[in-house]
Chains A and B, each alone.
Chain A
Amino acid sequence: MPDIKTEEMLLNMGPQHPSTHGVFRVVVRTDGEMVLETESHIGYLHRCFEKVAENNNYLQVVPYTDRMDYLCAMANNLGYAQTVEKLMQLQVPERAEHIRVIVTELNRIASHLMAFGTYGMDIGAMTPFLYAFRDREMILKIFEKLCGQRLNYSYVRIGGVTFDITDEIVADIARFCEYFEPSIIKEYNDLLSYNGIFISRTANVGVLPVELAISYGVTGPSLRGSGLKRDLRKDEPSSIYDRFEFDVPVGTGEMGTIGDCWDRYMVRIREMTESVKIIRQALDALPPGEFCDKKAFRGVKPPKGEVYHKVEGARGEVGFYLVSDGTNKPYRVKARGPSFSNISVLDALTSRGDCMVADMVAIIGSLDIVMGEVDR
């Protein structure tokens, strides 16, 4: 049979597309259903966070960090607060440390639930999305009770947290943990994780070798999906994470190759179990006492100097580089959003010639990006 030369088609995916998880644009060169090459374009959501931060005092920067990774705002708050505290050598009360761990882990679960739900939707299953939202709603209700906010909490602040955690909320969280693990996780696995069609759509698709992941600076579940046991909560425990027992799930290539979409997806599901473990321990160990450093709440003026600090967010390493000139406003704030590094590997995954248009959607979904964090 003679080689039929068909024309290539240049396809513009985004900025408005249901599966780009925000305003993200990929220019795709396709040959029929096969993707030959992709080129990502970002920047549609740029809000000059870093420049704005220079014109606000240290406390006023906190709400801007919420809007980076708006699905896991607690981790951003935590990263920023701990960076300033590190610069000031400020010791946070024990109770505040525990509360921080609890809310960050709860928010991680909420964020992973969102990742789980939208990933199901990317693959074509609508129902897991609604299931995930049903359970995410419980976490958001707890947060609403805790700080009046459902998404952009600004709850973790320099010197502690804004409100104390009441007994009622502690009971709510314990009840959620009881409800969620293991029965709900099992439900998710039955519904989606071990569904034959789902496995055939995600296993051996978008394989991310660990070397490639490291060279692109991929972190978080996307990196762990490639089999590398790298988790800042274990490796460089910033808060009181070293006191808790938990595992770091990694991709094992159970259904296909190590580092495929299914591995990345499954790491998130398993991390939810681990987060519940941490929350249970932190609730048990929750000490009485102050929940914040009242003095720091009135305003901070860190000494001259610079500092870099990173914490493990839901999507990877959330890092803040801070330069202080001794005034009450930061001289320079540089944020490292994990989604930014994670999305940069997309072109490498989709331009190998073995990817179909439907796979591209699966790969973008498995990297679990939040555009607010990519563009900042």
Chain B
Amino acid sequence: MTRPRNTAILASACIALSVLGPALWAQEAAGTAPTAAPGAAQDGSAVGGIVQSGAVPAPAAEPAPPTAADLAKRYGTIPEQGGLYLQAGFYQLVDALGLAVTLPEWLVVLVALLVVCLLVFGFINVFALFAVWLERKVSAHIQCRLGPMEVGPHGLLQTIADGIKLTAKEDIIPRLADRPLYILAPILVFTGVLIRFVPLPFGQHLVASDLDLGLFFVAAVGTVEVIGVIMAGWSSNNKWSLFGTIRTATQMVSYEIPIGFAFVAVIACAGSFSLQDIVNQQRGWFWNWYVLVNPFLTILSIVYLTASLAECKRAPFDLPEAESELVSGFHTEYTGMRFGLFFLSEYAAMYLVSAVAVVIFFGGWWSGIRPLDDIGMSPGSPPAAAIAGFLLKAAVFVTKAVVLVFVQVWVRWTLPRVRLDQMMHLCWKVLLPISLVCLVGSTLWQMASGGAGLYGIPALLGLGS
């Protein structure tokens, strides 16, 4: 076979760009043009203002003269939220270099899009490399083995070596496969995971595009992945793949429902769909995290974590890939980088569900220790503090997500696999009723208690928030 081996990865990058692009563009259109007001490109707090009492009007409305040479303004801050504002900084940089005058506006936006896309794409790739290594190491140590040790220190570069190997593999398409679908499927699956990264923050204001309907977007576009999986299994023309496909479709569609209810409960508490706002609501001590705000949300977080295992097709819900039953399910026939894309999307999805859990239940980028979180958050803090606070928050966020990824790995290498009927039983007869009750309970609790953290105990003790 002399097919270009990287077609798949290039094509998916294109799709990712095309999907990320309009999302950001739409927001640009709603916001301000880069040349108009530096430091006020977009503002997520406009939505947050709904629940934040006394929120000042969004800076977009303020007339700010472009004083591009000023360093403090280049890393502009938002009064009521504080912290470093990267996108504003980007436009200030453009202004500072005088590019806004010489370059057309669309080009600046396009460059911004490309930078954001490549950053997100690069993060997913690097994280997947790390996660594969982590999984192999953790599983090895759970199983009294060493795991990869040869390539790099403690086998850190093993995944890169494996990735290179994958690209060098022969790209096989079975003779009786449905070629267009077969080729499209891995791209679609990868895209389905990738576009969910659009509203996902990596830190405060560190987000490809803070969509107003962020959480809804995450839940909705995730279904694209299911379509890709069905295409993969069907087009392979393999009965085992078909089994895996049907199982995947059943499983992912079912488990989206408890996840949806968990989302709705959090949205009801936060009063916003925006992931930035949801995190900002959890500012303060760790008892303001939604997981500790009321007992129903605590239960819902467990429901979400369980269902997200199923959503990622991870053990004990790895039926679609059930190695001992279906060999590898829907991607049995895939080789080389096409298989690599499935693999990559699995690990990207692991990070994704963990990051969403961090956002909606575990306080996002807030470390849960108030003084630590306040670094660089006051309007007048020096740029160094702002940058330090910004980096700290990004580190806190990613660390929390990695811890949850570790939990997923831990669970996978400990538990056996459930059967299809047991999985459906768990979803429809256990998780769904629980999540429904918790949705109602959480909303009522929120109304009664006013949303004080840790079931309202610190507030009773006068500890503040």
Within 8 A of A (CB), among B344-371: none
A368 interfacial by beta-carbon distance below 8 Å: no
The answer to whether A18 and B420 have CB atoms under 8 Å apart is: no
**Contacting A123 at CB < 8 Å: which of B243, B319, B416?**
B416
- Taking CB atoms, residues of chain B closer than 8 Å to A201 are 416-419, 422
Instruction: Kindly state whether residue B121 has any CB partner on chain A within 8 Å.
Output: no
User: Could you tell me which residues of chain B, from 403 to 461, have a CB within 8 Å of some CB in chain A?
Assistant: 413-422
| Residue pair B418, A131 in contact (C-beta under 8 Å) | no
User: Is the pair B413, A127 in contact by a Cβ cutoff of 8 Å?
Assistant: yes
Contact B327 A126 (CB under 8 A): no
Which residues in chain B, 305-323, are within 8 Å of chain A measured between CB atoms? 315-316, 318-319, 322-323
Stretch binding the partner chain, chosen from A157-165, A269-277, A303-311, A355-363 = A355-363
Stretch at the interface among B125-133, B139-147, B207-215, B275-283: B139-147
CA distance A268 to B144 in the complex (A): 23
Q: Are A131 and B144 in contact (CB under 8 A)?
A: yes
B416 lies within 8 A of A11 (CB): no
In the complex, chain A residues whose CB is within 8 Å of the CB of B421:
33, 356
Residues of the A chain whose Cβ atoms lie less than 8 Å from the Cβ of B102: none
Residues of chain A lying within 8 A (CB to CB) of residue B139:
126-127
A361 and B142: CB pair below 8 A? Answer: no
Nearest Cβ distance between residue B139 and chain A, in whole angstroms?
7
For residues 130 through 161 of chain B, which have their beta carbon under 8 Å from a beta carbon of chain A? 139, 142-145
Q: Cβ of B418: which chain A residues have Cβ within 8 Å of it? A: 197, 200-201
* A16 nearest in chain B by CB position: B327
Complex Cα spacing A357 to B324, Å: 11
Q: Which residues of chain A are within 8 angstroms of B322 by Cβ–Cβ distance?
A: 124, 358
Q: Does B325 contact A (CB under 8 A)?
A: yes
A201 to B425, CA, bound (A): 13
B414, A127: Cβ atoms under 8 Å? yes
Check B179 for interface membership: any CB of A closer than 8 A. Answer: no
Closest-by-CB residue of A relative to B315 is A124
Say which size band chain B's interface belongs to. Answer: 20 to 34
- Report whether A197 and B413 are in contact in the complex, using a CB–CB cutoff of 8 Å: no
Q: Which of B139, B324, B414 gathers most chain A CB within 10 Å?
A: B324
Determine the distance from Cα of A182 to Cα of B191 in the docked complex, in whole angstroms.
52
With beta carbons under 8 angstroms apart, the residue of A32, A134, A192, A357 that contacts B416 is A192
Contact (Cβ within 8 A) B415 A195: yes
> Is A17 interfacial (CB-CB < 8 Å)?
yes
Chain B, Cβ-Cβ closest to A118: B324
- A212 at interface, CB cutoff 8 A: no
Partner of B316, one of A120, A124, A131, A361: A124
Residues of the B chain whose Cβ atoms lie less than 8 Å from the Cβ of A195: 415-416
Chain A residues lying within 8 Å of B169, measured Cβ to Cβ, are none
A197 touches B142 (CB 8 A): no
Q: Is B239 an interface residue (CB 8 A)?
A: yes
Asked if B415 contacts A19 (CB within 8 A), the reply is: no
CB-based contact A127/B143 at 8 Å: yes
Question: Which residue of chain B has the shortest Cβ distance to A32 in the bound complex?
Answer: B246
Cα–Cα, bound, A84→B74 (Å): 94
Q: Is A285 an interface residue, CB under 8 A from the partner? A: no
In the complex, chain B residues whose CB is within 8 Å of the CB of A12: 239
Contact among A9, A125, A134, A361 with B415 in the assembled complex (CB-CB below 8 Å): A125
Tell whether, in the assembled complex, residue A18 and residue B323 are in contact, meaning their CB atoms are under 8 Å apart: yes
Which residue of the partner chain B has the closest CB to A33? B420
Is A188 an interface position by the 8 A CB rule?
A: no
A359 to B399: give the CA distance in the assembly, Å.
40
Cα(A19)–Cα(B247), bound, Å: 19
- Contact in complex: A197, B415 (CB < 8 Å): yes
Q: Which of A168-202 contact B (CB under 8 A)?
A: 192, 195, 197-198, 200-201
**CB<8 Å pairs between A and B, sample of 19:** A11-B239, A12-B239, A33-B247, A33-B420, A123-B416, A124-B318, A125-B417, A127-B143, A127-B413, A130-B144, A131-B143, A195-B416, A197-B415, A197-B418, A357-B243, A357-B325, A358-B322, A358-B325, A358-B417
Of all A-B residue pairs in the complex, the 6 with the closest CB atoms, nearest first, are A124-B417, A130-B143, A125-B416, A123-B416, A124-B416, A19-B324
